[in-house]
Amino acid sequence: MGVKCSTCYDEVDTRFEMVPTLNETTNSANTGRSGLFVVSSQALDAGNDHTVIFDGGLRYTGQWRGGVREGHGVLQRPDGGWYEGQFVAGKAHGTGKLSHVNGDMYKGEWHQDQAHGRGTFTHQDGSSYVGQWQQDMQQGSGVEVWADGSRFEGDYESSRKHGFGKFSWAEGSTYTGEFFENDIHGHGNYRWSDGRVYDGHWRRNHMHGRGRMRWSDGREYDGCYCEDKKDGQGSFTWADGRQYDGQWRDGVQHGTGRYRNSKGLVREGEWRDGRRIRWIEAVPEVRDEVEPRPQPEAQLEADAASRQDEPETHVPVVEDSSVPEDEKEVHEASAAT
């Protein structure tokens, strides 16, 4: 909470909304079997279901046709990795599974030695990707799950989250919306585990552009953001009905704005770096032909009493977050907003 100043200023809490971090602890983007199927070009005619050991220790056991691998077979490499599945014209083609020496495994469809079609890649730590592949890369729709429980379901392009999808973090937060080259980018809805909700535009993992932030206690901000901070024109409403509608810069009130208290009284003022520097008094309309009608003494006393209740010196603090001030990120999961 910001500290309230004396009779002339109001300090605004400068904390800003926390931004999400995407998991990128494991990369199941390709099968990692570079060179696995690069073998001697020597034409062999060993018949069906024979074992042939190539130069360098590569071993193939399975079916042959015309001196090339054709049909079902097992290809073993010296480091312990192996492929078992279908071959066409000497290449992995059809369905098969590839096991790496570190325990990672791909099982699914192949096209000319590349993961292509639908397949599942499972890492030794339990992380996995299930979905579409094209030329050894995640392409199309898929589901990726991390060892910590985080999960992404959506579109991929060239092994990156790209298009529309939903990312769920292990601690309960979720983002549903557009992605661009592995970043949250475009329009989307982010829900924090503490009840906050942001719906609006994003740029490279930051709230940027027009958006609406709502807190679980009823507070709401509707306006412009720049790099996760309120910036431009926006309206902040408190749960009891109080409202500031005006200009913002770097996360705080800056410029002219209109403040309405809980009783409905509206006043215009000027703010600088989160502090109100003055009220802007309305100029009364002048009518030459009509003289002001004198008010009864009782009405004058009532007006004087009401002015005593006006918020002359204090506009409430805009609390940007309901998390501890020393918390700098919503998610310290693995690595990526």
Q: What is the rounded CA–CA span in Å between residue 235 and residue 228?
A: 16
- pLDDT in the model for residue 184: 97
Confidence check: pLDDT of 93 > 90: yes
Confidence check: pLDDT of 134 > 80: yes
- pLDDT in the model for residue 71: 94
For residues 286-300, give the mean pLDDT.
50
Q: How confident is the model at residue 301 (pLDDT cuts 50, 70, 90)?
A: low
For residues 292-297, give the mean pLDDT.
52
Q: What is the rounded CA–CA span in Å between residue 137 and residue 110?
A: 12
**Dihedral in degrees, nearest 10, Cα atoms 91, 94, 100, 105:** 170
- pLDDT in the model for residue 302: 46
- Residue % of the chain over a pLDDT of 70: 69
> Are 1-25+146-283+314-337 and 30-134 the same fold in CATH?
yes
| All structural domains of the chain with their residue ranges | 1-25+146-283+314-337, 30-134
Q: What is the CATH number of domain 1-25+146-283+314-337?
A: 2.20.110.10
Q: What is the rounded CA–CA span in Å between residue 76 and residue 242?
A: 71
pLDDT tens digits for range 55-78: 888 999 999 988 889 999 999 999
Q: What is the rounded CA–CA span in Å between residue 244 and residue 233?
A: 11
- Six-digit token pair at 135? 């030329």
The helix or strand, by DSSP H or E, that contains position 143, with its residue range, turns out to be: strand 137-145
Q: How confident is the model at residue 282 (pLDDT cuts 50, 70, 90)?
A: low
- Six-digit token pair at 170? 């292990």
Q: How confident is the model at residue 32 (pLDDT cuts 50, 70, 90)?
A: very low
pLDDT tens digits for range 143-193: 999 999 999 999 999 999 999 999 999 999 999 999 999 999 999 999 999
- pLDDT in the model for residue 41: 38
Confidence check: pLDDT of 242 > 60: yes
The CB-side HSE value for 124 (13 A sphere, CA atoms) comes to 6
User: What is the pLDDT of the chain when averaged over all its residues?
Assistant: 78
Confidence check: pLDDT of 37 > 70: no
**Of 23-27, 211-215, 294-298, which range is least confident?**
23-27
Higher pLDDT, 120 or 13: 120
Confidence check: pLDDT of 40 > 70: no
- Six-digit token pair at 49? 């279901």
- pLDDT in the model for residue 31: 43
- pLDDT in the model for residue 161: 96
Q: Give me the amino acid identity at 119.
A: G
Alpha helices in the chain (DSSP H): 297-308
Higher pLDDT, 18 or 246: 246
Q: What is the rounded CA–CA span in Å between residue 111 and residue 114?
A: 5
Confidence check: pLDDT of 317 > 50: no
Confidence check: pLDDT of 24 > 50: yes
- Residue % of the chain over a pLDDT of 90: 63
- Six-digit token pair at 45? 């005619």
- pLDDT in the model for residue 179: 97
For residues 305-320, give the mean pLDDT.
43
The domain made up of 30-134 has a fold known as 2.20.110
Q: What is the rounded CA–CA span in Å between residue 63 and residue 170?
A: 46
